[in-house]
């Protein structure tokens, strides 16, 4: 029996359904929806269902979609067809570029009863894998009611989310019980899911720990290396508001000893490029998105573009990783670590706590709490390039020690499909 929370949600989502097309059109005009594919958001498929067994993999946006790619590639290699859904324009564009043959992308339908029914009626997946924690009640419960085997993969839940759900235990228990298995990233996360009513929770690690190194364009990398020459680099990647204001004073401090220092800031959200340039004030800055180039007098280079982190992590042996000086939980430290780029980060690393801990343990350093801490560690690495390279190698060892989640997730999916008896 559905909880009162679920019943209220269904009633509200039914009530607002007639207004959804108008909302999608408005979002499309702002670039928040793919205007040529908006029908997919209403559950109208733009592709035919492929023949044979179909596994549906869902990830909310770029991070989840990228984490799912190695899993999708493994499934396709077995001859399984894959439907990948996500909810953002950037993730859709990314998947169009990187999905292997045998996998298709669709936008996830808005979570109204009609849209989710049309979606499920057309695609009829044999199994579903939800990456991380994107929980849509109508979609999940609708799939469960049809007998579709469901797994939460790469499952995570912050302490804040856990505390919030404790006030709606029946609602979250109803949602979690629709999943046949929850594949949690670590023991702490697993305990939260069990406490909230998930019936089968297994600790398998993070899919991100098995992801391949970030791709890059060799020609663009050569172009950047030529422009930078032998200048020392301070890289701050995936930064949020409040963190750039910390990094820029670090730049000033380090320039007293390294006057040709180039600071590269890669904001988490590229739309903040102009804002960061304004923060630079008298410091000579250039924006990558507007064609700005690195000149001899460029002090700060704002790399406000998408999907180019693979370039910048390959330029330097260490980086500051954002989302960690503020309580955002941090971004994936395995991406730089796999490229032998050492990681320094603030105290807020709960999104990937196990990965940060493994990398910091190998490095022996990495935790920073202030501009003073960042300047001290970064300065010591700029003074000793050999130590910086050694820390990058240590980061790579820490990343390599983690893994196995993809194999375990594939076993579960194969069990859903009747391909083995081990799940």
Is 188 tagged catalytic? no
176 CB-side CA count, 13 A = 27
**Cβ neighbours for 85, distance < 8 A, ≥ 6 positions apart:** 56, 57, 58, 59, 105, 106, 107, 108
d(CA 293, CA 286): 6
Q: In Å, how far from its chain's centre is CA 118?
A: 28
Q: In Å, how far from its chain's centre is CA 245?
A: 24
CA-derived radius of gyration, the chain: 23
Per annotation, catalytic residue among 33, 40, 51, 64: 64
How far lies 2's CA from each of 7, 145, 228, 404, in Å?
Answer: 6, 12, 60, 36
Total Cβ atoms within 10 A of residue 126: 18
d(CA 66, CA 7): 34
Phi then psi for residue 215, to 5 deg, are: -75, 165
DSSP states of 13-36: HHHHGGGHHHHHHHHHHTTSS-GG
**Cβ neighbours for 357, distance < 8 A, ≥ 6 positions apart:** none
Q: Which of 31, 21, 20 is nearest to 89 (CA)?
A: 31
Q: Which residues are tagged catalytic?
A: 64
């Amino acid at each position: 029996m559905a909880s009162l929370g679920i019943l209220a949600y269904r009633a509200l989502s039914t009530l607002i359904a007639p207004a959804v097309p108008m909302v999608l059109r408005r979002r499309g005009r702002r670039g928040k929806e793919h205007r040529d594919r908006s029908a997919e958001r209403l559950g109208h498929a733009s592709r035919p269902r492929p023949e044979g067994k179909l596994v549906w993999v869902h990830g909310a946006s770029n991070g989840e979609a990228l984490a799912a790619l190695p899993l999708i590639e493994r499934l396709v290699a077995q001859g399984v067809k894959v439907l990948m859904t996500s909810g953002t324009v950037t993730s859709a564009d990314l998947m169009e570029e990187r999905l292997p043959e045998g996998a298709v992308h669709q936008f996830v339908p808005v979570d109204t009863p009609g849209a989710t029914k049309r979606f499920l009626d057309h695609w009829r997946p044999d199994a579903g894998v939800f990456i991380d924690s994107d929980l849509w009640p109508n979609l999940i419960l609708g799939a469960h009611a049809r007998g579709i085997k469901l797994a939460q993969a790469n499952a995570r839940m912050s302490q804040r989310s856990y505390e919030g759900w404790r006030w709606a235990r029946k609602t979250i228990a109803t949602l979690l019980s629709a999943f046949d298995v929850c594949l949690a990233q670590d023991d702490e996360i697993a305990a939260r899911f069990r406490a909230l009513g998930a019936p089968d929770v297994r600790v398998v690690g993070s899919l991100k720990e098995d992801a391949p190194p970030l791709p890059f364009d060799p020609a663009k990398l050569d172009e950047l290396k030529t422009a930078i020459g032998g200048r020392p680099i301070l890289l701050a990647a995936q930064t949020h508001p409040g963190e750039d204001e910390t990094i820029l004073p670090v730049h000033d401090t380090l320039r007293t000893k390294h006057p040709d220092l180039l600071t590269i800031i890669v904001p988490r959200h590229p739309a903040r490029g102009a804002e960061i340039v304004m923060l630079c004030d008298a410091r000579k800055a250039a924006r990558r998105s507007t064609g700005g180039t690195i000149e001899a007098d460029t002090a700060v280079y704002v790399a406000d573009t998408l999907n180019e982190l693979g370039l910048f992590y390959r330029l330097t042996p260490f980086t500051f990783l954002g989302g960690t000086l503020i309580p955002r939980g941090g971004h994936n430290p395995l991406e730089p670590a796999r490229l032998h780029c050492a990681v320094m980060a603030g105290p807020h690393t709960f999104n990937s706590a196990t990965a940060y801990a493994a990398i910091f343990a190998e490095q022996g350093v990495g935790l920073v709490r202030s501009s003073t801490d960042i300047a001290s560690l970064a300065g010591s690495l700029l003074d000793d390039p050999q130590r910086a390279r050694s820390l990058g190698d240590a980061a790579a060892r820490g990343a390599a020690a983690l893994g196995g989640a993809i194999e375990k997730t594939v076993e579960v999916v194969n069990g859903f499909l009747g391909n083995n008896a081990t799940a």
